[in-house]
Amino acid sequence: MLPASPLSAWLSWLETLSPREIDLGLERVHDVLRRLDIEYPDHVLIIAGTNGKGSSVAMAEALLSAAGWRVGAYTSPHIVDYNERIAVDGRPADDETIVAAFEAIESVRGDVPLTYFEYGTLAALVVFARAGLDVWLLEVGMGGRLDAVNAVEPTGVLITNVSLDHCDWLGEDVEAIAAEKAGVMRPDVPVVFGDAAVPGAVLRRARETGARLLLRERDFPVEGVPRPGLAGEFQVGNAAAVLALLDAAGLGAATEPGLVARVLPAVGLQGRGQRIERDGIEWLFDVAHNPAAAGMLAQTLAADAGNRRTIAIVAMLDDKDVDGFARSLDEHVDLWIATTASGARALPAGELARRIANVSGRPCLIAGSHEDAVQVASKEAARGDRIVVTGSFYLVGPVLQRLGLYSPRRP
């Protein structure tokens, strides 16, 4: 039974679709794409990698828009509203536009089964095509080789980095995961790899496909790149990779030094190193949810430690490496508060607290809800202290909303 018109009804229906019950692969998405007969722009950029994809899309989007291009940005997951995933010229698509795209998919899909993410990806392509945009930025959801975004032929690719995450789907080691992410490469299409540590699987795939691989320091510098408005020194490396991607993909007007110096420092993105001061307390929101991302967050905390306490509110999903995450952050946290993320896959707060305490050797407080966690942290914090909200999109979003800090518009 297909849903009626409201977007909420469509999303409720899509959430009932289980990817484990569908034969994963790109054939079904290719089939529906052919039926949709989508007209692509001259510039389609795919952004893959374990961490930093959303930040990289935000930087590319800001630079391209400032240079005069009309831009569509497809990202996932969302912080609060599904509409965030499909942005046209920096604004989330409205409910009616997304529903119309879902209806277009249904009108041609026939009996081809699709997952939640595949519907969303196809809907973004429909929205962007109908809007007549100049550049599409498409963030891979997970992996690369079998991700729905990979059904589109890119004119440029960025792989931000590779580390352990989604191991039950992608593989148990970095090389296996890198092989999946490198599946987005194409013959003679520029591929920028953003991290200094390049897995062998990335090098092999580039040789096999004939992709034009661009490597950090060898092919593009990090030194001299303006620091983005996003918190964390590592964001300079992300920015350097974005600039290399735009140059290599024929969008060099967006990398003009004066434009870059003006635009990058103003780039922000909700939940990615987002700092806000309230009542003399600094709140830092970061959706880090794996050990590598936690390590980057730890660098940010260490660089601005000061003489103050750091209180961490954390919630995680049940498939995440809690021990590795906590180990990466523990020396920079004075008090842990565990709560439960929204959604069926959330790790219960009690279990999360137990595992954090095992790593830390110190007690971890338990809060029954994110509202309770905010209340406890606010009571514990003195003026000048810092409260970090991290571990999951499904915590950061609700807390931003609870504090009245959520904005659906992309910065």
Q: What is the mean pLDDT of residues 227-231?
A: 90
**Pairing mode, strands 86-88 and 71-74:** antiparallel
* pLDDT at 410 > cutoff 70: no
The neighbouring-strand residues paired with 255 are none
Contact (CB, 8 A) for 161 and 52 = yes
State the pLDDT at residue 305: 82
Cis check for the bond before 77: say yes or no (omega within 30 of 0). Answer: yes
Which has the closest alpha carbon to 364: 337, 403, 394?
337
Question: DSSP letter string over 37-104?
Answer: TPPP-SEEEEEE-SSSHHHHHHHHHHHHHHTT--EEEE--S-SS-GGGGEEETTEEPPHHHHHHHHHH
State the pLDDT at residue 166: 45
State the pLDDT at residue 50: 86
Q: 7-266 maps to which CATH number?
A: 3.40.1190.10
Q: What is the mean pLDDT of residues 27-56?
A: 95
Structure tokens at 147: 């991700």
Beta carbons within 10 angstroms of residue 176's beta carbon? 15
Domain regions of the chain by residue span: 7-266, 274-402
Which has the closest alpha carbon to 219: 201, 245, 181?
245
- Average pLDDT score over the chain: 92
Summarize pLDDT for 256-294 with one digit per residue, the tens.
999 999 999 999 999 988 999 999 999 999 999 999 899
- Identity at 42, one-letter amino acid code: D
* pLDDT at 306 > cutoff 90: no
pTM of full prediction above 0.75: yes
Structure tokens at 294: 């936690």
State the pLDDT at residue 167: 45
- In the block, residue with structure tokens 């806000």: 276
- In the block, residue with structure tokens 């590598």: 292
* Phi, psi angle pair for 71, to nearest 5°: -125, 135
State the pLDDT at residue 21: 59
Length in residues, the chain: 411
Which has the closest alpha carbon to 393: 28, 45, 77, 44?
77
Banded model confidence at residue 19, pLDDT cuts 50, 70, 90: low
Rounded to 5°, the CA angle 95-263-272 comes to 60
Q: Residue 136: CB partners within 8 Å, gap ≥ 6? A: 40, 41, 43, 44, 45, 71, 72, 74, 125, 128, 152
Show the beta-strand stretches assigned E in 100-153.
Answer: 135-139
- In the block, residue with structure tokens 């229906």: 13
Summarize pLDDT for 328-352 with one digit per residue, the tens.
999 999 999 999 998 888 999 999 9
Question: Could you name the CATH architecture of 274-402?
Answer: Alpha-Beta Complex (3.90)
Which has the closest alpha carbon to 98: 88, 78, 83, 113?
83
Question: DSSP letter string over 161-193?
Answer: ---S-SHHHH-SSHHHHHHHHGGG--TT-EEEE
Summarize pLDDT for 135-173 with one digit per residue, the tens.
999 999 876 788 899 999 999 999 999 875 544 545 467
Q: What is the mean pLDDT of residues 384-392?
A: 97
- Helix, strand, coil percentages, rounded to 5, for the chain: 45, 15, 40
* pLDDT at 5 > cutoff 80: no
Which has the closest alpha carbon to 221: 206, 202, 241?
241
